[in-house]
Amino acid sequence: MLDFDGTLVEIVDRPDAVVIEPALAILLQRLKGTFQGRVALVSGRSVAQLDAFLGPALDGVAVIGSHGGEIRAGDWRMASVRPASLVAAERELGVAFADRTGAVIEVKSMGVAVHYRLAPDIEPAARALVDRIAKERGLAVQEGKMMIELRVAGHDKGSGIAALMVKKPFAGTVPVFAGDDVTDESGFNAVEALGGFGVLVGPDRPTAARYRLADVAAVRAWLEQAA
């Protein structure tokens, strides 16, 4: 089980600027074959976003999107309903940062994020606004690398992994999850509880992951060996 941004691909300044090399698409399909379909992406991105980036490379690969709010595995689908409160939050964030150069509003199926990598000075205002909207509209706040997100409450990457692990062909196997961000900690906890382990990608920090890889290049090298 693999996170996307910061694990399979490098984090970029704008969330829509990710470029997928043919080698990554080939690697995912090789892994699917080696592990007999027991490969999944686990991302804060929506399933639709991952489809747009990876296309046929996801054929036969399970996808947990929107921090566990969406799951696709073979013919099985699970998805939350996008609430009106999230639509209203999206509008409010868009208006608030419309004239702030470098601020990027990323709209997801089950969330909306403010990215401030290109405008770090807006972080305090973004955090304050997101916290207020979350309290007023009953949404969850999700921290990330140079971003903060409002999302539908009641799920996370850990709950998504737990739901997937009772489905074939994952049921009865040992889960391994690689991720880089604080958003992946729930996933690390979930795989530990299921008898597996997490792999932190990036600099060492307090984490529930048992092992660590230095960066995206190290993840790719590890997966090439596994495939």
119/215 Cα distance (integer angstroms) = 24
Cis peptide before 169 (omega within 30 of 0): yes
Active-site residue (options: 3, 156, 181, 184): 3
Read off the DSSP letter of residue 134. H
| Annotation says 75 is catalytic | no
Specify which residues 70 forms β-bridges with. 65, 79
Q: How many CA atoms lie within 13 A of 89 on its CB side?
A: 33
11/88 Cα distance (integer angstroms) = 28
Which active-site residues does the annotation give? 3
